[in-house]
């Protein structure tokens, strides 16, 4: 065996090993993807109903009170003061998920570039970030933005209690006036092969947004006991916790879907490389055999 054929054979062996590894990772990701997709899809009705209830309550309670949870902070805001916005950014902890994180960060930067104009924010607007996922943390630090806190150990099977410290941080910070608005930024799960950037306002809950989504409104009469404000104070942490947990599930579903597709693509590419190298190996071996036969025939003819 010549040196060239030995080199090709080593490359074939390496490509076969890569194909086996990526196939195993694809199967693991497929199992995780199925579970994550089910959790994300099944949690959507609860999140929608919580939003439905709290916005409906706010509309009914307007005659009794104007709770700060629903006030638009942009109205009557002194432009001389600093308007603080909190961005809760969800990403993956690991790589090997295709262009998921790249699309997330590219879309987020585009949204941030136009945020002040599109959201009609005051000129002196500052951004504070809280990240869920190591890749989000790395991006925030790389871009030189202020990182208030980071959560990077949620795992593939997060429990509802895992989100409570983050929810408490946001709820208490908003009540204390540490920031005026809060947004969630993550990759929303659409299908196995499709995920898109979603940036949604978490706090305050703008009551007018319910009118833009009539499918979430319903007619009901409420009696507030003892007071509407007390009810809203109790609903705030529950609302934030549910929204954050659902966002985490959506992000995980997107991650495992993207990783499964990426590993399948890598496995298919490795098999194509094996086929191509096998063809090159056979051609090289055939060429070597043909050359040896020609040498034998030439030597015999010379002897005759």
Judge residue 137's burial from the number of C-beta atoms within 10 Å of its C-beta, 0-12 exposed, 13-18 middle, 19 or more buried. Answer: buried
Over residues 99-117, the mean pLDDT reads 92
250 has pLDDT over 90 = yes
In the block, tokens 């490509």 appear at 15
Of 30-44, 195-209, 233-247, the range with the lowest mean pLDDT is 195-209
Position 210 confidence tier, pLDDT thresholds 50, 70, 90 = very low
Helix (H, G, I), strand (E, B) or coil at 196: strand
As given in the structure block, the two tokens for residue 149 are: 């806190």
pLDDT of residue 52: 82
Tens of pLDDT, residues 127-149: 999 999 999 999 999 999 999 99
Helix (H, G, I), strand (E, B) or coil at 52: helix
Count of beta carbons in the 10 Å neighbourhood of residue 91: 27
Over residues 178-202, the mean pLDDT reads 93
Give the CA angle between residues 138, 127, 245 to the nearest 5°: 65
Percent of residues, the chain, with pLDDT higher than 90: 38
Rounded to two decimals, the pTM is 0.83
300 has pLDDT over 60 = yes
Strand 83-90 relative to strand 125-132, pairing: parallel
pLDDT of residue 143: 93
DSSP secondary structure string for all residues of 233-273: HHHHHHHHHHHHHHHHHHHHHHHHHHHHHHHHHHHHHHHHH
Q: Which domains are delineated in the chain? A: 22-263 (3.40.1380.10)
Of 161-175, 201-215, 257-271, the range with the lowest mean pLDDT is 201-215
Q: What is the pLDDT of the chain when averaged over all its residues?
A: 85
d(CA 278, CA 184): 50
């Amino acid at each position: 065996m010549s040196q060239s054929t030995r080199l090709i054979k080593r490359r074939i062996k390496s490509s076969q090993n890569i194909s086996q590894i990526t196939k195993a990772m694809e199967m693991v990701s497929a199992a995780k993807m199925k579970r994550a997709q089910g959790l994300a899809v099944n949690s959507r009705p609860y999140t929608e109903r919580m939003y439905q209830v709290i916005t409906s309550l706010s509309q009914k309670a307007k005659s009794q009170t104007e709770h700060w949870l629903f006030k638009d902070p942009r109205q009557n805001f002194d432009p001389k003061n600093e308007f603080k916005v909190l961005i809760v950014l969800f990403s993956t902890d690991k790589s090997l998920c295709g262009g998921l994180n790249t699309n997330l960060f590219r879309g987020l930067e585009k949204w941030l570039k136009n945020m002040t104009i599109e959201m009609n924010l005051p000129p002196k607007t500052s951004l504070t970030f809280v990240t869920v996922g190591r890749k989000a943390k790395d991006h925030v630090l790389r871009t030189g933005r202020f990182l208030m806190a980071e959560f990077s150990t949620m795992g593939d099977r997060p429990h509802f209690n895992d989100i409570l410290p983050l929810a408490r941080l946001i709820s208490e910070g908003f009540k204390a006036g540490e920031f005026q608005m809060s947004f969630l930024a993550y990759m929303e799960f659409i299908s196995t092969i499709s995920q898109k950037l979603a940036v949604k306002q978490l706090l305050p809950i703008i009551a007018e947004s319910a009118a833009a989504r009539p499918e979430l409104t319903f007619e009901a009469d409420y009696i507030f006991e003892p007071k509407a404000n007390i009810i809203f104070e109790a609903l705030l942490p529950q609302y934030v916790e549910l929204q954050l947990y659902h966002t985490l599930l959506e992000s995980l579903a997107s991650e495992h879907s993207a990783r499964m597709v990426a590993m399948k693509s890598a496995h298919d590419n490795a098999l194509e490389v094996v086929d191509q190298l096998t063809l090159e190996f056979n051609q090289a071996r055939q060429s070597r055999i043909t050359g040896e036969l020609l040498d034998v025939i030439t030597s015999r003819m010379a002897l005759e």
